[in-house]
């Protein structure tokens, strides 16, 4: 019985180390890459809460959309389309202190049905974006985005 408890405690310690200590040893660039990948995955998975997790409350884009605006638009899109594909190609990351500038290509592919036909249209928009992130207490957060 004591051996089982030791094994359980050992597994728990290893799990805690992997989930809470390991991220502190990652570089800021690696953390940013992980956040962008996670945000893309959460968009494709239509997981609004994890999708918005890394948007700062003061977020604004070049169309003056706020974090709340983005969340509302995302919710409507998630309800309208059954499947969403997202690809994100990071071209460049420049980190200066607690600020980061990222240049990326973002593709969002949304298959839709038109009327009662079986024809599937692909609505595809590929955009280059300049994204600004800021390191906060919660980690790196999206602060601004704009088309170059």
Residues 47-67 pLDDT 10s: 888 889 999 999 998 889 999
93-96: long-range pairs with CB below 8 Å, 24+:
93/29, 93/32, 93/33, 95/28, 95/29, 95/32
Q: Above 80 in pLDDT, residue 142?
A: yes
What digits encode the pLDDT tens for the residues 83-113?
A: 888 888 899 999 999 999 999 888 887 776 6
CATH architecture for segment(s) 2-146: Roll (3.10)
- Give the percent of the chain with pLDDT over 70: 82
Quote the pLDDT of residue 21.
63
- Model pTM score: 0.74
Residues sharing a CB contact under 8 Å with residue 75, sequence separation 6 or more, in sequence order: 48
What average pLDDT does this structure show over 15-32? 74
């Amino acid at each position: 019985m004591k051996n089982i408890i030791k094994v359980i405690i050992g597994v728990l310690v290893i799990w805690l180390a992997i989930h809470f200590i390991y991220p502190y040893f990652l570089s800021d660039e690696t953390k940013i890459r992980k956040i962008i990948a996670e945000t893309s995955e959460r968009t494709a998975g239509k997981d609004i809460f994890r999708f918005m997790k890394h948007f700062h409350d003061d977020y604004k884009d070049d169309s003056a959309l706020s974090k709340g605006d983005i969340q509302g638009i995302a919710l409507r899109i998630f309800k309208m389309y059954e499947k969403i594909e997202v690809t994100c190609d990071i071209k460049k990351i420049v980190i200066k202190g607690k600020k980061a500038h990222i240049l990326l290509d973002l593709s969002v592919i949304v298959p839709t049905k038109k009327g009662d036909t079986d024809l599937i249209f692909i609505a595809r928009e590929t955009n280059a974006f300049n994204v600004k992130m800021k390191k906060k207490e919660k980690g790196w957060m999206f602060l601004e985005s704009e088309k170059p």
